[in-house]
Amino acid sequence: MVIRGRVWKFGDNIDTDVIIPARYLVTIDPAELAQHVMEDIDPEFAGKVQPGDIIVAGRNFGCGSSREHAPIAIKAAGVQAVVAESFARIFFRNAINIGLPVVEAPEAVAETETGDVIEVDTDAGTVRNTRTGKVYQSTQYDEFIQQIIRAGGLMQAVAERVKARQQAG
């Protein structure tokens, strides 16, 4: 899968409290959560982000809470993928589970700016910056994680297992 989009760049340790502040966790409606995405790091972000954009960030993206509302808010805001130097582990898992592509590409992050257009190739494990033409390596998913992605998310994968189990009696 190749994802092409315009970049919004953020720094290190972008935590789940700034991605979606707890005061908005009284709903599980993705559209409502998306209205407040990244609000405490950039109050204007929800108004600026366009469907198809890509978030690029530094180390430890998504650190903090286990709230799945964080990747849900990002995805519902139309963000196609997050590219970071590294991800906090719960956020990474949550993103894969709900079908938000998350890619680790430290060198690409260092040389990417807000407004650049990049191409993320999740199969080839590359990130290409169309402004500079440079291509960077990104870490590739394990086969196990690829299975979740191919199924369309964790619950789709689980549903297949539950169905197989029921058929087996």
Partner 1 sequence: MGMTMTEKILARAAGRRSVEPGEIIEVAVDLVMTNDITAPLSIAEFKKLGLERVFDPQKVVFVPDHFVPAKDIKAAEQSKVMREFALAQGAIYFEIGRAGIEHVVLPENGLTLPGQVIIGADSHTCTYGAFNCFATGMGSTDIAAAMALGTTWVRVPPTIKFVYTGTLPPDVGGKDLILYTIGQIGVDGALYAVMEFTGEVIDDLPMDDRIAMANMAIEAGAKTGIFGFDEKTREWLARVTDKPYEPVDSDPDARYQQVIEFDVSNLRPLVALPHLPSNVYPADEIEDMPIDQVVIGSCTNGRLSDLRIAAEILKGRQVHPRVRCIVVPGSQEVARQATREGLADIFLEAGAVFSTSTCGPCLGGYMGVLAKGERCVSTTNRNFRGRMGHRESEVILAGPAVAAASAVLGRVASPAQLD
Asked if 88 is part of the footprint of partner 1 (rule: CB under 8 A), the reply reads yes
In the chain, what is the straight-line distance between the N-terminal and C-terminal CA atoms, in Å? Answer: 37
Binding range to partner 1, per CB under 8 A, among 2-10, 84-92, 118-126, 129-137: 84-92
SS3 label, residue 125: coil
Asked if 21 is part of the footprint of partner 1 (rule: CB under 8 A), the reply reads yes
Asked if 155 is part of the footprint of partner 1 (rule: CB under 8 A), the reply reads yes
The string of DSSP codes covering 13-68 is --BHHHHS-GGGTT---HHHHHTTTTTTT-TTHHHH--TT-EEEE-TTBTBS---T
Asked if 41 is part of the footprint of partner 1 (rule: CB under 8 A), the reply reads yes
Asked if 36 is part of the footprint of partner 1 (rule: CB under 8 A), the reply reads no
Asked if 69 is part of the footprint of partner 1 (rule: CB under 8 A), the reply reads yes
- List of residues 6+ apart from 161 with CB closer than 8 A: none
d(CA 155, CA 49) in angstroms, rounded, equals 28
Which residue lies nearer to partner 1 by CB, 17 or 121?
17
CB of 30 to partner 1, least distance (A): 10
Binding range to partner 1, per CB under 8 A, among 46-54, 66-74, 105-113, 118-126: 66-74
DSSP character at residue 131: T
Alpha carbon of residue 22 to chain centroid: 19
- List of residues 6+ apart from 13 with CB closer than 8 A: 58, 59, 60, 61, 63
Report the residue from 25, 111, 123, 130 that binds partner 1 according to the rule CB under 8 A.
25
> Using CB under 8 A as the criterion, which residues of the chain lie in contact with partner 1 when the complex forms?
13, 15, 17-18, 21-23, 25-28, 39-41, 43, 59-60, 63-69, 71, 86, 88-90, 93-94, 97-98, 142, 144, 153-155, 158-159, 161-162
